[in-house]
Structure 1
Amino acid sequence: MLSALIALPALGALIVALLPKGKEELAKQVGLGVALLVLVFGVTLATGWDTSSTERFQFAQEYWWIRDFGVHWAVGLDGMALVLVLLSLILVPLVMLASWTAADRYGGAFEDVAAARAEQAAADEAAGKTGKSPFGVVGTRSAKTYFVLILLMESMMIGVFAATDVFLFYVFFEAILIPVYFLVGLFGGPQRSYAAVKFLLYSLFGGLLMLVAVIGLYVAADKNTFLIEQLSGVDLDPGTAKWLFLGFFIAFAIKAPMFPVHTWLPDTAAQAPAGALVLIVGVLDKIGTYGMIRFCLELFPGAAKWATPVVIVFAVISIVYGAVLAIGQVDLKRLIAYTSISHFGFIVLGIFAMTSMAQSGAILYMVNHGFSTGALFLAAGYLIVRRGSARIDAYGGVQKVAPLLAGTFLIAGLSALSLPGLSTFVSEFMVLVGTFTRYQVAAIIATSGIVLAALYVLWAYQRIAGGPTAEAISRKGAFPDLSRRELAAIGPILAVIILLGFFPGPIVNVINPTVDHTLSVVQVNDPEPTVAEAPGGQP
């Protein structure tokens, strides 16, 4: 069933691609139908999860793929992979629903319409064309292509989290770059080509380092297999293990993204369609932090402990650096991108603090950040598609003309600053408390990220939704409130954010066995609690 779950979105993408040309509405309907079918199939699979099982991976399948090199088609889910797969399955149909009209009206979901029109007008004038489309960039960038790429991306996301063979993981890790590159390059803003190429070059560089490390691991382990369970715990030369660890870690740090290899994200966020950004930042980037736990810690435990002090420093820098730069952004999507760099710093900090609470909080943070950032990018997309600009200073007084839209943006923003009662608060609290038991200074400095988050979120909301209403917004009919379709896309995400803020227990119970296994492989235990002595020597 797990292999079928991976194949189903790809099959759906093929069906949509084969639909007659010009049947844009039908393509969207079929694409959404496939995404909903995949969601139902995945949830049905998840209901068979056995919380009492002692098996490392459930729903496991293993077949020879390239026998001579020890490569298997091997898939399976542990608790961490399960929750990330479900995150992917939930977000994909909501992204499709949110992008329903934007993908064909503007040639790209939620792009900067004014800039895109100007770019196309200049190109048409230079080519001597007349009678051009008022929307300029429609061209060949059809909704059908957009939905095909989203479905292909979904298939790759499921595969990368489900792979239990290192080489198979690498194949999915690289293959997912293809749909993302075209989503940015075809449906992005005026500088989409630059952003797409920069994303691709960064990712390919990381992938090349990982490929070298994968081959090195195969040779050093001398086991003629790439299966994670058989490679975990292999006795490697300490020097070799450190080099292999670095090959994997740098690739995952780029994907995460983590300071100082993060610069592709703000540029990609500024140009990519908001619907695609929900999946790029909400899910795709989690491959980096997922890989740190699955491969860096489990395959190279000694090297992971050797690198931990440096990784902790870079994680704290990411937290503060991302938050400070978010404050100064004038582009709404770039602001959200920098907040994500800060949030990924928290996740990496929790992973390498190597306590059960911090690591459970980090995995929970991956899920919560996916929903929180997804809601932020959708709300930003709704704003941009109405105003025609991503600049924050182009807005003002939105809450007076579109209170529902302003309210959804506020809730999404409050989740980004980890307000108690919303899901991200639980995970951030667990990361900080779990880190403090082992790295007090790092936890204290990281706490400043919470204060800075309140500043960049509330100030952005004040400039966009508060104050006097901008003239372009106040004109009658120029800035409508959320439609039923738009509310149906963002509403479930906000509901999940609130629900997990009060009831995170079910997810924590699912991911705890993964944390226990990882810490046992790395051979670390939670620090003993410090008990102060009262006068007289009594604790």
Structure 2
Amino acid sequence: MIPLDDTVLQALLVAVVALPLLGAVAAVLPAPPGLRGRGPDQAVLRHGVTVTGVVLLATVVLALGFDTDRSDAMQAESDVSWIPALDVRLHFGIDGISLPLLVLTALLAFLCALYSYARMPAGPSPKAFVALILLLECGTLATFAVLDLMLFFLAFETVLVPMYFLIARWGGQGRGPAAWKFILYTLLGSVVMLLGLLLLGLNAGTFDMAALARQHGAGLGHTTQVLAALAIGLGLAIKAPMWPLHSWLPGAHTAAPTVGSVLLAGVLLKMGTYGFVRIVLPGVPEGAHTFAPYLAAFAVVGIVYGSLACLALALPSSDRSWRRFAPQSSPGTQGDLKRLIAYSSVGHMGFVLLGIATLTHTGVNGALYANLAHGLVTGLLFFLVGALKDRAGTSDLDTLAGATGAALYGRAPRLGGLLAFGAVASLGLPGLAGFWGELLALLGAYHPAAGLSRPAFLVFLALGALGTLLTAAYMLLVVRRVCMGDPAAPTSVPGLAKVPDVRGVEFAAWTPLVVLTVLAGLWPAALLGLMDPAVQSLLPGVTR
């Protein structure tokens, strides 16, 4: 910890949220002559790297100045009246729950900008691309930093427009329908969520999220809490994404450019689960308790369904009958590796929702840990699959593997090794980040909160454990088909014949994710010690 004045911390947090927005505006302006480099396109891409790099640096300084001994208290807090008639305030602050998500967002945005500087996806002007990336970063950072329900809603909605255009304008096959499905699903969920936020704020007499957490439902009737939890939860569940509200996700990931998929999986999905922990659990505890069994049931169905869909996509074409578990959204997407990772996100986020549904300190800590691990590991996997698609011209597993396997270990050993690392991290290998979150979520289901049916949650635990076995099955199958094989064998994919290994900028973009995945797996106490006091503050009266 670096001792910093409260005013400095406040200024840093405001700067972290505001700089990407200012950078987005600057990106669409003409570059000064001295900064154009080899051309305006290079200048704006360099601008994106610079702005996201400064934001990441400011976030790291903010994290170093954070008082870890008071991680349950809001720090770097600023509170200014914005719309007095509605009592809407510009209220910002961070605690042990929001700080790791803030750092994750800043890191992934910087790595995406760095990757795009070397491998800009085909599409319209890079100016618009960089501006949209920065606007998306601003909305995501604000979602994790604001402490006012109306500001939370505005930040939550801010990310929809840039992600829609990233998919629709820079995406691949099927990008039009995928972008429309994404925006329609999320907008519909947002309308319902807004009604729930208004119901909660007006009946509680405040839109302040910190005050709502302190009140812990005091003064709110049971019916009000149930209705608010249902409306807010539906909007958050779509973004999470919870089965069966997940159907927008596979198409969006398959069509999105690489950096779009990284940001969508790495940070946008976290906004939904963060809302459950920050708003629903402390704000409407009776409503959360009422719906907890249903949330857990949908979560474990998502775990099993997502795993079966991935297994169906990973199997070779001779086992095509399995692929009824993964409905085809557009021609040529059955067996697509990006689609497979998208379905794996449904399963992994199911563990997050299961941990939240236990309403225990153990389960919620596991959910938050799994949230961060998913951002690191799945972000890395989308980077790797995007790089493989750029080299080979396809991400279809059957085309890549052929009859003998793609043999990445022999043709591009570093790329193959990183892909295998990402796969074993995703299946929850002990010693890597994915292990702890899923373990704690299952332990939370073993002893759910008082008043919840333990036999039902034991069934949910068993189904979740089955999901871990299925995850290991499909991930190891992907490694066998993509990484193993005879490199001297003929291939029908021209790009695989002389596939380039990992380049310098790719090492720079991927190494932080690898290092953090290992650190989070070997040193879980660092994150759990930061998050647990804040979780205990949001769930008073819970003994475990």
Give the TM bin, normalised by the shorter chain. Answer: 0.7 to 0.9
Q: Distance in 1 between matches of 2:475 and 2:71?
A: 43
Q: State how 1:490-509 maps to structure 2 within 5 Å.
A: 490-509=510-529
Contact 2:71 2:533 in 1 (8 A): no
TM-score, normalised by the number of residues in structure 2: 0.87
Q: In structure 1, what is the equivalent of residue 295 of structure 2?
A: 311
Q: Does 1:463 align with 2:481?
A: yes
Deviates more, 1:84-93 or 1:433-442: 433-442
> Does 2:76 align with 1:65?
no
**1:362 corresponding residue in structure 2:** 367
CA distance in structure 2 between the partners assigned to 1:314 and 1:308 by the alignment: 10
SS in 1 for 2:207: coil
Question: Does residue 231 in structure 1 map to residue 212 in structure 2?
Answer: yes
The amino acid across from 1:305 in the alignment is H
What amino acid sits opposite 2:412 in the alignment? A
Identity of aligned residues (%): 35
Structure 1 stretch 487-496 or stretch 254-263: which is displaced more?
487-496
| CA–CA distance in structure 1, aligned partners of residues 127 and 528 of structure 2 | 38
User: Post-superposition shift, 1:477?
Assistant: 6.9
> Is 1:88 paired with 2:105?
yes
Once the two structures are TM-superposed, the CA of residue 54 in structure 1 deviates from its matched residue by: 7.3
Compared CA separation, residues 503 and 198, structure 1 to 2 (3 A): same
Q: Which residue of 2 aligns with 1:118?
A: none
Distance 1:250 1:463, change over 3 A: same
Distance in 1 separating the partners of 2:30 and 2:230: 45
Alignment pair present for 1:14 and 2:18: no
Contact 1:202 1:264 in 2 (8 A): yes
1:290-309 to 2 correspondences below 5 Å: 290-309=274-293
2 CA distance for matches of 1:524 and 1:317?
Answer: 27
Matched residue of 1:302: which SS? Answer: helix
- Within-5 A mapping of 1:477-488: 478-488=498-508
Shift of 1:345: 0.6
- Contact 1:386–1:478 (CA under 8 A) maintained in structure 2: no
Q: Is the 8 A contact 1:350 1:359 kept in 2?
A: yes
8 Å Cα contact 1:183/1:272 also seen in 2:
yes
Inter-partner Cα distance in structure 1 for 2:494 and 2:254: 26
Aligned to 1:43: 60
Instruction: Tell me the CA shift for residue 473 of structure 1.
Output: 5.1
Select 1:217's aligned residue among 179, 187, 200: 200
| TM-score computed with the length of structure 1 as normaliser | 0.88
Match of 1:429 in 2: 439
* Count of aligned residue pairs for this structure pair: 488
Q: How far 1:515 sits from its partner (Å)? A: 1.1
Using the TM superposition, give the Cα deviation of residue 509 of structure 1 relative to its aligned residue in structure 2, in angstroms.
0.9
C-alpha separation in 2, matches of 1:6 and 1:333: 30
The answer as to whether partners of 1:203 and 1:255 remain within 8 angstroms in 2 is yes
Deviations 1:169-226 (A, max 9, x none): 00101111111111111110121111111100000001000111122223322x2x31
Tell me how far 1:401 sits from its aligned partner: 0.9
**Which residue among 154, 159, 179 is the counterpart of 2:142?**
159
Q: Distance in 2 between matches of 1:98 and 1:31?
A: 11
Q: Tell me the equivalent position of 1:129.
A: none
Equivalent residue of 2:77, what SS? strand
In structure 1, the gaps of 5 or more residues are 108-137, 527-539
| 8 A contact 2:149–2:201 mirrored in 1 | no
Secondary structure, aligned partner of 2:97: helix
CA distance 1:457–1:157, shift in 2 (3 Å): same
- 2:353 counterpart (348, 354, 357): 348
Q: Which amino acid aligns with 1:388?
A: G
- Which of 251, 256, 267 is residue 283 of structure 1 equivalent to? 267
Whether the 8 Å CA contact 2:392–2:496 is kept in 1: the answer is no
Q: Which of 509, 519, 538 is the matching residue for 1:489? A: 509
- How far 1:510 sits from its partner (Å)? 0.8
Structure 1 residues 476 and 428, CA gap change in structure 2 (3 angstroms): closer
Structure 1 residue matching 2:92: 3-state secondary structure: strand
Structure 2, unpaired ranges of 5+: 1-10, 314-334, 401-405, 449-456
Contact in 1 for aligned 2:77/2:91 (Cα 8 Å): yes
Paired residue secondary structure (1:412): helix
What letter is aligned with 2:209? I
Tell me how far apart the structure 2 counterparts of residues 431 and 244 of structure 1 sit (CA, whole Å). Answer: 25
Shift of 1:462: 1.3
Segments of 4+ in structure 1 off by > 6 A? 474-477
Alignment match, 2:327 = none
Q: C-alpha distance in 2, partners of 1:220/1:12? A: 38
SS at match of 1:75: strand
Q: CA deviation at 1:34?
A: 1.1
Q: CA RMSD in A?
A: 1.6
Q: Which amino acid aligns with 1:48?
A: G
SS of equivalent residue, structure 1 residue 52:
helix
| C-alpha distance in 2 between matches for 1:260 and 1:274 | 25
Residue 274 of structure 1 deviates from its aligned partner by: 1.5
User: Aligned to 2:117, what secondary structure does the other structure show?
Assistant: coil
Please state if 1:441 is matched with 2:451.
Answer: no
Q: Does 2:217 match 1:197?
A: no
CA contact (8 A) 2:46 2:117 kept: no
Partner residue, 1:24: 41
One-letter code aligned to 1:220 = N
Which residue type is aligned with residue 173 of structure 1?
A: F
Three-state SS of the structure 2 residue aligned to 1:480 is coil
Further displaced range: 357-366 or 63-72: 357-366
Shift of 1:474: 6.9
Partner residue, 1:533: none
> Shift of residue 443 of structure 1?
1.1
- CA deviation vs aligned residue, 1:119-157 (integer Å, no higher than 9, x gap): xxxxxxxxxxxxxxxxxxx4xx13332222111111111
Over 3 Å counting, the alpha-carbon distance change for 1:397 and 1:241 in structure 2 is same
**Distance in 1 (alpha carbons) for counterparts of 2:350 and 2:370:** 11
Q: Does 1:372 align with 2:369?
A: no
| 8 Å contact from structure 1 (residues 472, 478) kept in 2 | no
Task: Indicate which of 250, 257, 260 corresponds to 2:244.
Answer: 260
Deviation at 1:440, TM superposition (A): 2.2
In the alignment, the residues of structure 2 paired with residue 475 and residue 35 of structure 1 have an alpha-carbon distance, to the nearest angstrom, of 32
How far off is 1:61 after superposition?
0.6
The amino acid across from 2:344 in the alignment is T
Q: Is the 8 A contact 2:60 2:103 kept in 1?
A: yes
Q: Name the CA distance, whole Å, in 1 between partners of 2:350 and 2:397.
A: 25
Conserved 8 A contact 2:24-2:134: yes
Which sits farther off after the overlay, 243-252 or 477-486?
Answer: 477-486
2:395 is aligned with 1:390: yes
* 2: CA distance, partners of 1:30 / 1:312: 44
Alignment of 1:408-419 (within 5 A): 408-419=418-429
1:227 maps to amino acid: D
What SS does the corresponding residue of 1:482 show, helix, strand or coil? coil
Looking at structure 1, the residues matched to 496 and 163 of structure 2 have their Cα atoms a distance apart, in angstroms, of 37
Cα deviation 1:445-465 (Å, max 9, x = unaligned) = 210111101111111121112
Equivalent residue, structure 2, for 1:111: none
Task: State the one-letter code of the partner of 1:175.
Answer: T
Is the alpha carbon distance of 1:3 and 1:322 closer, same or farther for their aligned partners in structure 2, counting shifts above 3 Å?
Answer: same
Aligned-partner Cα distance in 1 for 2:212–2:442: 32
**SS of residue matched to 1:321:** helix
Shift of 1:55: 6.2
Counterpart in 1 of 2:316? none
Supply the distance in 1 between the matched residues of 2:173 and 2:436 (Cα, whole angstroms): 39
